[in-house]
Amino acid sequence: MDHNIQIVLADASEEFRRVLALTLVEEPGMQLVGDTGDGEEAVRLVGELQPDVLVMDVVLARMDGLEVLEEICQLSARMIVNPVSMQMERSRIREIVMKLQNER
């Protein structure tokens, strides 16, 4: 592999981010380049770091996942976004997924 898959993680749970970071360290070809529990910070990190993948909780501080998605779709057309949440209503998650599909 020529380069590592660069990942930014945006999740409200600091514990989840820590566990995933520990998991990624052991995965060849993957590199966690940034993490945050804040939506505005997630947008900043994506713009600054231009990761290959954003793993994002849809419930974040200051800016929710849909707002983050709207911002980052303007920054990067090549990034994969994986919205995840145990706390959000299914209709809101569907709205985010549909937004992702429409942006591609």
CATH code for position 54? 3.40.50.2300
Alpha-carbon Rg for the chain in angstroms: 13
Would the pLDDT of 78 be above 80? Answer: no
Structural domains counted in the chain: 1
Query: Rounded to the nearest 10 degrees, what angle do helices 65-75 and 39-49 cross at?
Result: 20
Return d(Cα 83, Cα 102) in angstroms, integer.
15
Domain extent, residue 61, equals 5-103
pLDDT of residue 57 exceeding 90: no
- Weakest mean pLDDT among 56-60, 71-75, 89-93: 89-93
Instruction: Give yes or no for a contact between 24 and 42, defined as CB atoms under 8 angstroms apart.
Output: no
- Rounded to two decimals, the pTM is 0.74
pLDDT at position 35 over 90? yes
For 11, the 3-state DSSP assignment is: coil
- Asked whether residue 34 carries a pLDDT value surpassing 90, the answer given is yes
On average, the pLDDT of the chain sits at: 78
Q: How confident is the model at residue 64 (pLDDT cuts 50, 70, 90)?
A: confident
* CB contact at 8 A, 62 and 28: no
